[in-house]
Amino acid sequence: MASKDKLLEQLIEPVVQSLGFEFWGLELTGRGTNLLLRVYIESEQGITVDHCAQVSRQVSALMDVEDPIPGEYTLEVSSPGMDRPLFRLDQYQRYAGEQIQIKLRLPYEGQRKFSGLLKGVEADEVILQVEDEEYCFPIETIDQARVKPDLDKHKK
């Protein structure tokens, strides 16, 4: 995690938790005047648009005071959704047994993108089974990871 992301997480997580939500993670993307700060929140009862608006107002007020991002940016608050990004080891562990996609910071064996079954976590490594091969990726080598939802499993 980049130092800017870590600073933002340290500022934003307590605000989200004080409102009764789980701080799932954040992404800071874009460059120059096209920066986007996306904050993901979660709750066992689900997330509504009103929840997102409530968190957005509080985070926006905090950001105005602390000013950790120079210049303009767009703040977006949302649920992580079914194809949720994974940021922390406990999140990887929670989704063990699910299909995920991983994008590495640097290529491993000539590729950066891997898709397979998340076997779990051991120490600080994410264990991914891709077909008949098992890979262990240290979490710091992972740039992005997302759950690949099984849409048939979620149909009613």
pLDDT digits (tens, 9 = 90+) for 86-120: 999 999 999 999 999 999 999 999 999 999 999 99
- Portion of the chain with pLDDT greater than 90, in percent: 86
State phi, psi for 21 to the nearest 5 degrees: -115, 160
Total number of domains in the chain: 2
Say if 37 falls within a structural domain: yes
Both 19 and 72 in one domain: the answer is yes
Mode of pairing for the β-strands spanning 142-147 and 99-108: antiparallel
Identity of the residue numbered 124:
D
Both 46 and 97 in one domain: the answer is no
Of residues 77, 79, 72, the one with CA closest to residue 15: 77
Strand partners of residue 27: 38
If one compares 70 and 78, the residue with the highest pLDDT of the two is: 78
**Tokens encoding 35:** 């920066």
Q: Coil, helix or strand for 124?
A: coil
Q: In the predicted model, is pLDDT for residue 40 greater than 80?
A: yes
Q: What is the pLDDT of residue 151?
A: 74
Both 74 and 7 in one domain: the answer is yes
Domain at 25, CATH number: 3.30.300.70
Both 68 and 22 in one domain: the answer is yes
For residue 21, the enclosing domain spans 3-78
Q: Which of 78, 100, 116 is the last residue of a domain?
A: 78
pLDDT in tens, 3-20: 778 999 999 999 999 999
Q: In the predicted model, is pLDDT for residue 2 greater than 80?
A: no
Q: What is the pLDDT of residue 70?
A: 84
DSSP-derived letter for residue 88 is S
Q: In the predicted model, is pLDDT for residue 140 greater than 80?
A: yes
Name the pLDDT band for 51 (thresholds 50, 70, 90): very high
DSSP-derived letter for residue 98 is S
Residues composing the chain: 156
pTM above 0.85, yes or no: yes
| Torsion sign over Cα 99, 88, 31, 51 | positive
